[in-house]
């Protein structure tokens, strides 16, 4: 019971584990990936990185050297609960874990926007394209477009170029000027990274087009061409700017969605982010949530990147050590020097980025009536409009239950937020904070074998 359970073995979970172990505590890291590192440091059987690998190697070495840290990889949490001060996780191998201290470090995944053809094979998220490349060198295609919004598009395009993919263009829907200067003001490492990406892309003559978006993908059974267009500041297509290009794959990304499934099951309070209205875990200065003993760090408390995740993980790890009585508060202060101010500096910058790379509502004009919104249940824009205007659905939940939008296997992880925005626009009232929170309500976090379930009852 004294062991801290860490859900997620990315930067936040790893750095927290190390702090706990340094203080003499025990921790177990659960991760669905076969290896530590999360999405940022995803890698194959050999830990090779084209850049920023040193920090991972150091963290992993320390974790390996601490017998008090157990790592359980390739393991999924299918259900979580918090009752009377004890958290319980049920794992897909049929076992369960309980603990009085738990860290949520579940990270985030790509936010997607639909457009005609986004469900064709060859269409991947930007993060997905990078994940398969990092994990095993797999390429999503030979000639691709990278599109969407956000600084993440650049490293994705750069790593594809380095892997030999012909990147036909990077399309940034927002008009962003001089953001590299902002970067430099905050962090030299980020500045260097950005310069490196631009160098790779310009050497490969990859056009970076601001204010452009992919508005349609076409092909017979897989992507063969894309329609791109210039969009205005609201993301509405500018007439007369449409171009058609041959390609065999696309990678699109529109920022990230914090993964709150486990957090929701544990009953922690959440905030709706004032800038992008994403749902994030509410934490105090020590990264503790509204539930005693439940901490959170990294993207699940608000998207902020690897540096913020590492710092939040450290702060959480140190706070956990204090709560478990492993170190004094004086010792904790010594170990935390500079962390809090660094956290607020990066957080401020992350919020500035969120404002610059906001999703503007004109994206809905790219939809046609037959565009699939819910990939799992194959629900179209027309069907969602129909349950609102013909059947009288007047809120997100009813529209979802009547149309089956978001009722499929991904449990609205992909379409939930976007559909809430579509329904809100159709009804004429934006989704409420509680409706946005409700998207993350998944009492069964991942499908679990009925046989495994039945065997548990022996």
Partner 1 sequence: MKTADVVVIGAGVVGSSCALIMAEAGLKVIVVDRGPIAGGTTGAGEGNIMVSDKEIVPEIQLAVRSRNAWFEIADRIGNNFELQAKGGIALSRTDAGMAGLRALASHQNAHGIETIEVDGARLRELEPHMNPEIETAIHYPGDGQCQPMLSAAYFLRTVRHLKGEVWQRTEVLGFSKDKDGSIIGVRTSKEEISTRYVVNATGTWAGDIARLAGSELSIMPRRGFILVTTPAPKLIHHKVYDADYVANVASDSPELQSSAVVEGTESGTILIGASRERIGFDSRINMAALERLAKQAISVFPVLSKLELLRVYRGFRPYSPDHLPVIGEDANVKGLFHCAGHEGAGIGTAPGSGEILTAMILGKPTFMDATPFLPKRFQGVA
Partner 2 sequence: MRIYLNGVEVEATENESVGTFLLKRRQQVLRKTRFNDQPRGMFCGIGVCFDCIVTIDGIANQRACITQLRDGMRIEVTS
Binding positions for partner 2, rule: CB under 8 A: 32-34, 39, 44-45, 74, 109-110, 119-125, 127-129, 131-132, 135-140, 221-222, 259, 375-378, 408-410, 413-414, 447, 449
Residue 233 CA to residue 123 CA, distance in Å, equals 25
Residue 321 CA to residue 328 CA, distance in Å, equals 9
Q: Looking at 336, 351, 398, 432, which residue binds partner 1 (CB under 8 A)?
A: 398
What DSSP element (H or E) covers 90?
strand 86-91
Adjacent-strand bridge partners of 252: 125, 147
Q: Looking at 85, 121, 207, 443, which residue binds partner 1 (CB under 8 A)?
A: 443
Scanning 206-214, 275-283, 360-368, 390-398 for contacts with partner 1 by CB under 8 A, the matching segment is: 390-398
Residue 437 CA to residue 429 CA, distance in Å, equals 16
E-assigned strand segments in 173-267: 208-210, 212-218, 225-230, 243-246, 249-254, 256-258
Q: Looking at 43, 360, 397, 437, which residue binds partner 1 (CB under 8 A)?
A: 397
Q: Looking at 98, 185, 391, 433, which residue binds partner 1 (CB under 8 A)?
A: 391
Residue 391 touches which of partner 2, partner 1, none (Cβ within 5-8 Å per kind):
partner 1
- β-strand pairing of 123-125 with 249-254: parallel
Shortest distance, position 115 Cβ to partner 1, whole Å: 25
Greatest extent of the chain over all pairs of C-alpha atoms, in Å: 67
Over the window 348 to 377, marking each residue x when it contacts partner 1 by CB under 8 A and - when it does not, the resulting string is -----------------------------x
Q: Looking at 22, 79, 413, 440, which residue binds partner 1 (CB under 8 A)?
A: 79
What DSSP element (H or E) covers 133?
helix 126-136
Nearer to partner 2, 328 or 449 (CB): 449
Q: What is the DSSP letter of 431?
A: P
Residue 149 touches which of partner 2, partner 1, none (Cβ within 5-8 Å per kind):
none
Nearer to partner 2, 132 or 176 (CB): 132
| Span 121-150, contacts to partner 1 by CB under 8 A | none
Does 448 help bind partner 1 (rule: CB under 8 A)? yes
Residue given tokens 């998220």 in the structure block? 125
Residue 233: exposed, middle, or buried by beta-carbon count in 10 A (0-12, 13-18, 19+)?
Answer: exposed
Does 32 help bind partner 1 (rule: CB under 8 A)? no
């Amino acid at each position: 019971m004294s062991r801290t359970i860490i859900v997620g073995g990315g930067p936040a979970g790893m750095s927290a584990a190390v702090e706990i172990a340094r203080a003499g505590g025990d921790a177990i890291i659960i991760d669905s990936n076969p290896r530590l590192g999360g999405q940022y440091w995803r890698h194959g059987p050999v830990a090779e990185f084209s850049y920023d690998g040193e920090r991972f190697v150091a963290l992993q070495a320390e974790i390996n050297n601490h017998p008090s840290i157990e790592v359980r990889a390739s393991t999924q949490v299918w259900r979580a609960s918090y009752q009377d001060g004890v958290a319980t996780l049920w794992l897909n191998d049929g076992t369960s874990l309980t603990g009085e201290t738990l860290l949520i470090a579940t990270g985030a995944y790509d936010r997607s926007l639909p457009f005609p053809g986004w469900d064709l094979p060859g269409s991947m998220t930007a993060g997905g394209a990078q994940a398969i490349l990092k994990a095993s060198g797999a390429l999503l295609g030979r000639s691709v477009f990278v599109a969407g919004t956000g600084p993440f598009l650049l490293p994705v395009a750069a790593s594809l170029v380095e892997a030999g993919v012909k990147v036909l263009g990077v399309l940034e829907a927002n008009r962003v000027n001089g953001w590299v200067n902002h970067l430099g003001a905050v962090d030299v490492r980020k500045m260097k990274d950005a310069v490196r990406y631009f160098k790779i892309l310009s050497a490969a003559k990859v056009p970076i087009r601001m204010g452009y978006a992919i508005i349609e993908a076409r092909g017979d059974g897989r992507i063969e061409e894309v329609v791109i267009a210039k969009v205005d500041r609201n993301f509405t297509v500018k007439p007369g700017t449409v171009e058609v290009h041959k390609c065999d794959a696309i990678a699109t990304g529109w920022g990230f969605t914090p993964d709150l499934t486990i957090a929701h099951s544990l009953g922690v309070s959440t905030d709706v982010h004032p800038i992008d209205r994403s749902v994030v875990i509410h934490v105090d200065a020590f990264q503790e949530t509204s539930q005693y003993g439940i901490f959170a760090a990294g993207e699940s408390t608000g998207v902020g990147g690897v540096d913020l995740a590492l710092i939040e993980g450290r702060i959480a790890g140190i706070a956990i050590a204090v709560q478990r009585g492993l170190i004094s508060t004086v010792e904790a202060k010594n170990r935390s020097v500079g962390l809090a101010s660094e956290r607020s500096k990066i957080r401020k910058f992350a919020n500035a980025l969120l404002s610059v790379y906001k999703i503007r509502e004109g994206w809905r004009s790219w939809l046609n009536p037959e565009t699939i919104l819910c990939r799992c249940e194959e629900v179209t824009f027309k069907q969602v409009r129909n349950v609102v205007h013909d059947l009288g659905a007047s809120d997100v939940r009813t529209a979802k239950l009547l149309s089956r939008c978001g009722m499929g296997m991904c449990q609205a992880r992909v379409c939930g937020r976007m559909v809430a925005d579509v329904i809100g626009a159709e009804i004429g009232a934006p989704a409420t904070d509680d409706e946005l929170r409700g998207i993350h309500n998944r009492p069964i976090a991942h499908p679990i074998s009925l046989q495994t379930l039945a065997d548990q009852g022996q």
